Structure 1
Amino acid sequence: MIVIIDYGMGNLKSVYNALKSIGLESKISSNKDDIIKAKALILPGVGSFKDAMDNIEKESLDDLIKNEVKKGKFILGICLGMQLFFEKGFEVEERSGLGLLKGNVIKMKENIKDNIKIPHIGWNNLIYSKDDNLLEAVEEGEFVYYVHSYYAQEYDADDLVAYSEYGTNKIPGIVRNNNVIGIQFHPEKSSNIGLKLLKNFGEMIK
């Protein structure tokens, strides 16, 4: 059973429906026992870094998530959920994240002259940095769907699995450090490619 962590923000139902469509059993929950018993965790997210971390800490989910990850449990962060894995976010104000990955989350660079507008909304292709079993049967150059204004920087280069380019912004699209996996785009909105990535995640946690 995969638990999609409900901390009051995020595209919970769409992630749940995507998992259901590929035969992965999941449950939306903030219950501590559910999270402890889960085979794997998904942290989705839509909204601001600060509000998300405020909610997570208010529900005392921060230490619980860190402890489960420390035990070796797989966790997948989607969009804002991935950003929360990093050490700090700078949306509205400086705010500490979960610190599961090295790096900070900052605003992307806009260039109106070259039609590089923020937020970055739409399809963009993936460029691979290294092999990973999350990318099994997914060809380099496939397009995925992004909706965001902030992105991770100052991350560990060894954690970068795949990225996209948007103007001068090099967007970490997929990052991974052992059992911690982050996806900046929305796999649940990325058609068959996104579903394939979620299916690969399911294979990894068997």
Structure 2
Amino acid sequence: MEIAIILIALIVCMSVVAIKLSDTKLSFPFSMKKQLFTAAERQFLMLIENAVGTEFRVLCRVRLVDLLSLKSNTNKKLANSALLKAGNKQIDFVLCDRKDLSPVMAIDLVYGTSKDGHNIQRDFFVSGALDTAMIPHVRIKAKNGYTLAEIRECIETKLIPLRRRQGKPPFVAANDRPEVIKRSTRPTRPLSPTRKAVA
């Protein structure tokens, strides 16, 4: 009887030790990030939000697999391969329709170096997937000094097909507008050569 009590006590002790050890393994070694976005991302987010006004919502860091869906007739092997490739891809900013939050445009920042994980070269898988889904894709080189007009022009240039479907005139940049050439309303030279007066 005493042996049974000792064995039960040992089992309870071992269970407590095991729980304590598993708690240390399950601890969460995290702290809050001071900044959710880099300085360049914050700057571009503000520019994009100001450029689109109240027409679109801007979502940040959207996974490619959340933005696209597989076609129903895709074979299983191709579907698995595509999902595997798309699984680790993300878009920096996505413009969405304010009414139903459907995606309208994908925007990526391109850095001079890949320190922050941004691709310097075009990712043909991402571009091809977005083209197939008919989502315009804009890649903007990250640099200081962009103006609101430049960002708006870049966005609107890619939105020309959408504007046509909406029946709105495409955006024309101020420097691309045809200049009105003022012409004189009266002749500046005689229409026919003048005849010398006969003496």
| TM class by smaller structure | under 0.3
Name the structure where helix makes up a greater proportion of residues. 2
Larger radius of gyration: 2
TM-score for both structures, normalised by structure 2: 0.26
| More relative contact order, 1 or 2 (CA 8 Å, 6+ apart) | 1
TM-score for both structures, normalised by structure 1: 0.25
